[in-house]
Structure formats: structure tokens, C-alpha cells
Chain A
Amino acid sequence: MKSKKIIVSVCILIFAISLVHGQDIEDMVSKYTQENGQGYMQPLADAFGATFNSGLYHSASIKKLGFQAYLGVVSSFAFIPDSKKTFEATTEGFFEPVTTADVPTIFGAAESVEVDGNGGTTYVFPAGLNVSMVPFIVPQLTIGSVYGTDLTLRYFSVGINEELGDVKLFSWGIRHSISQHFDLLPVDIAVGFYSQTFSIGDLVSAKASVINAQVSRNVMLFTFYGGLGYENSNLDIKYTNTAEDTEISFKLKGNNKIRFTAGVTFNLGPVKINVDYNLSDQSVLCAGLGFGIGK
């Protein structure tokens, strides 16, 4: 069982790693040194941001004062819609005639698109990875409460190899109970701010943040919760194009801005199992499993 868990953990990391492994990413996108690169990579930025900003809460209930903690694993799945699998690209460089075509993004079809040009030339728009969803799994600790305020932390750091360096994630968030200031409210209400950084060596660096309003209500063993959030994310990718001996970098901004969250937590004593759906430009299904004590 232990070895299987290790395989699973490695697989989850492999997705991110395979995207940014020096040779692989270069082979995927070495053609895209200009504007097309932004279009090719944009869905990756959207998916990263959307998954990072998911699963940060599973209830809006925070004690006014006293020990309250949750330790668990949060898994997020960004299902890639068809609209994020193609983009409109234009031939680059000296290829003639200049031609525009609908071609795969990094999540698109695993087949390149070819355009015939003058004098027996052919322009190749690179294939995608044929990805239907992006998974993201991270441990999470939430601890409180001081005057209805708690702190959420996410962290992992895994050394991959000398070429890639470490995969690192650090996240912090703080939220405050609003409902504690009002009597007789039928629901718990809180507001939170969360900030996350992620990096893979010098190749990838990502930042995401979200501010949200959270609401929840306990009904027997269940906690129904939801929220409205405003978010931002950035993804910077840097690699060397050895064919032309140039350094290529993309600075991408996630398209996700507003997200609606709706979910339910199943409370089995200290065991908390939650599932929620996040509706946004890039929607995310999120599930969590953890142990909570306190409220």
C-alpha cells in the first residue's frame, strides 16, 4: 500500500513536471517564441490558478475563541472545456503565406496542425497534451481561533533532480467570522483572503490569490456551504530554446476572476469529507478529506 501511495503521489506531480521538464516543454513549444506561445499556454495558467484557489474552506463556522483545527488533504480537478483546447494562431517567422488556423493549446489534441506554404514548405503548429483534466492535491492545515479568526496553511516541497530543482508550494490564508458579531443569524458567514506561491526550480513560478465571502449552515451531519470569490493568478514560465539559443519566457495571467462555490461537508465526528464545485471561467471540482476538532 505504501508503494502504491508513493506512485500516486509521483503521478500527481508528474503532470506538472512533465509540462515543465526542460526538454519536453521545449519540444512542445519551441516553435512558439512569440504571441502564439501565450495562446498555447494560457489554459495552463487558467487551470493552475483555478485549482490553487480551490478547496480552501469547507465551512464558514469559526469559533469566537478557543482551539479549532482541521488537517486534511484537498484535491482539485479542473476539467478542461473544449473552448480551452484550441486557439487561433498565425504562422510566425519567414513562412509564407502568413496563415491563421485553429490549433491545439497545451491541453488540446495530441496531433499537430500542418499548413502548406510556398515552394514545398510546411508550417507545423505543435500538438497539445490531450488533457481532459488537471488534478492538484495538497495537504492543508487550518488552525484557530482568535476572536473568530483562523489561519490556513498549505505547504509541500519535493526535490525532483538537479536539472529541475524543487517543486515547492506555500500558501497562507486568513479568515474572520462575520456571523459572530450578529446574533440570531441562521447561517455562518466569514470572509477570507488566501495567497499562494508555487515554483518548479527556475522554470515555473506561479502566484494565486483569492478574497472570498463564505457562508455555511449545519443540517444534522451535513454542512452546506458556498461562497463568492474574486481571484487573481499569474504563471511565469521560462526555458531555453536550444534550436535558436535564446531564452523564452511567458508571463501569463489567469482568466479566472469571479468564482461561485457550492458544496457540502459530511461530518463523521472528527472526520470531514467535503465536495464542492467552483463555477468560473475555468471551473473546478474539489474534494477534501481531513480531521477536524473544535467547532
Chain B
Amino acid sequence: MKKNIIILFLVPFFFSSCEKRKFEFDLSLNLEETYIVDHTGNFSESQTITRSDVMDALSIPENAEIESVSIESIAISIQVLNDNEASALLVSGMAQLGNGSPQIFNNFPISLVGVDIPFVGINSLIADGVEGIKDKIEGYIKGTDSAPFSIEISGDSSPTAGQRVHVQILIQVKGNVKYTNCEDALPFMGADCS
């Protein structure tokens, strides 16, 4: 009798054996590109982003199933360098994707008051450009695309055009990679792996 009671008590624990359960993970992606501009008048600088740049910034388990990739924000930061004459800039961004060159943002104004301008979110993003970057990153992660792409920054001094611009521009692309993976867990966690 006693033995049966003890067994009855322990049974629920033995049933709680490990099994593979599916979990969703949302991994932050943070890409930063640096541009040095030392030019008088209209400027244009480009930085290339490769598949390995993206993959190195992420740590995704081998068996993970990629659900989606999204771009959350694009921000810009400027450090004013020696002999810069511009008090403000109008900056545009363009994605060179190989199969198209959609604009990411157009004539975004940045005041160069002080030496280091902290990151400012670009609130006038253009969906075509953002979508283009998203598709490239998704292609890299899913292994369907390996061709590099570029983000080109162009602009001029403002309100007086044609001044010497000597600055370091940082472009920050923040995104999210949603993936699912089966992990060892208790049966009352996560979802079925099937």
C-alpha cells in the first residue's frame, strides 16, 4: 500500500520527461556603417554590406527556421571633423541593390551644432528602400542571396549649399530576425515541434 502511494506520487514527475518544444526567438540586428565625407559641395559616399557582415552580426542556431526579417529603424549620427564649414546638412540615402536603387530617405536635415551629434532617428523613411534592405538581409539569412549591396549617402551643406563638409557619418540600421527552434524543455512549455 505504502509503496503504491509513493509510486502514485512520483508518477507525475516521471511523466514530465524532456522533449523537444518549439520556441520563437526574436533576435535584434544592429548594422552600423561609417562614412567619412571631406568634400566641398555635393557629396556622395558609399559603403558595401556583404552577407558575412550580416551573418557575423547574428548568431542563429543551425536548425533554426527563419520566420521573418524586419527593419525597425534607421538612424544617423554625425561627428564634425576639422575645418568643416557647414552648419547643417541635407542628407539622402539610397540602397544599391543590384536589381534596383530605391531611395531610403530624402533630404533629411541635420543640424551640426556641437561636435558629436548623437543618433537621430530618420522619421521620413521611404518604404521601397527599407523593403529593399529587408529583402537583402532576409535573402542572406535564408541563403537565397549572397550578392553584396551598398548604402549610398549623398547630400550638401544647408542652408548655404556648396560649403566644405568634413564629417563622419554613421548610419545605424536596426532590425529583427524572427526564428523558431526546437529546444529541450518541459512538455508544458512552448509549442509542438511537429
A129 at the interface (CB under 8 A from B): yes
Please determine whether B27 and A30 come into contact, CB atoms closer than 8 angstroms.
yes
Please determine whether B189 and A130 come into contact, CB atoms closer than 8 angstroms.
yes
Report the bound CA distance from A123 to B29 in whole Å: 12
Please pick, from B22, B121, B186, the residue contacting A135 in the complex, using a CB distance under 8 A.
B186
Q: A15-B185, A130-B189, A287-B9 are in contact. Are A111 and B24 (CB under 8 A)?
A: yes
Q: Give a binary string over A228-271; 1 marks a CB under 8 Å from any B CB, 0 the rest.
A: 00000000000001111000000000000000000000001001
Contacts of B188 in A (CB 8 A): 131-133
Please pick, from B75, B120, B123, the residue contacting A118 in the complex, using a CB distance under 8 A.
B123
Within the complex, the shortest CB–CB distance from B163 to chain A, in Å, comes to 28
A112 at the interface (CB under 8 A from B): yes
Within the complex, the shortest CB–CB distance from A56 to chain B, in Å, comes to 19
B51 at the interface (CB under 8 A from A): no
Please determine whether A24 and B183 come into contact, CB atoms closer than 8 angstroms.
yes
Contacts of B72 in A (CB 8 A): 93-95, 117, 121-124
B18 at the interface (CB under 8 A from A): yes
Please determine whether A271 and B2 come into contact, CB atoms closer than 8 angstroms.
yes
Report the bound CA distance from A119 to B73 in whole Å: 9
* Partner-contacting stretch, out of B125-133, B143-151, B153-161: B125-133
Report the bound CA distance from A250 to B16 in whole Å: 30
Contact residue range for chain B?
35 or more
Report the bound CA distance from A137 to B75 in whole Å: 48
Report the bound CA distance from A28 to B120 in whole Å: 26
Question: Count of A-B contacts with CB under 8 A?
Answer: 151
- Which residues B26-59 have CB closer than 8 A to chain A? 26-30, 57, 59
Contact residue range for chain A?
35 or more
Contacts of B131 in A (CB 8 A): 120
- Which residues B136-194 have CB closer than 8 A to chain A? 174, 176, 178, 183-186, 188-191
B5 at the interface (CB under 8 A from A): yes
Please determine whether B185 and A12 come into contact, CB atoms closer than 8 angstroms.
no
Please determine whether A130 and B191 come into contact, CB atoms closer than 8 angstroms.
yes
Report the bound CA distance from A244 to B188 in whole Å: 33
Please determine whether B125 and A119 come into contact, CB atoms closer than 8 angstroms.
yes
A169 at the interface (CB under 8 A from B): no
Please determine whether A129 and B9 come into contact, CB atoms closer than 8 angstroms.
no
Binding site for A on B (CB under 8 A): 2, 5-6, 9-10, 13-14, 16-18, 22-30, 57, 59, 70-75, 105, 119-131, 134, 174, 176, 178, 183-186, 188-191
Per CB-CB distance, the 3 closest pairs between chain A and chain B, nearest first, are: A94-B121, A119-B125, A120-B127
Binding site for B on A (CB under 8 A): 4-5, 7-8, 10-12, 14-15, 18, 23-24, 27-28, 30-31, 75, 93-96, 110-112, 114, 117-124, 126-127, 129-133, 135, 137, 241-244, 268, 271, 273, 287, 289
If A95-B72, A120-B126, A133-B188 are given as contacts, then 18 extra A-B residue pairs at C-beta distance below 8 Å, sorted by A number, are A5-B14, A7-B17, A12-B16, A15-B185, A24-B183, A27-B25, A75-B13, A94-B73, A96-B121, A110-B24, A119-B125, A121-B70, A121-B72, A130-B190, A135-B186, A137-B13, A244-B28, A271-B6
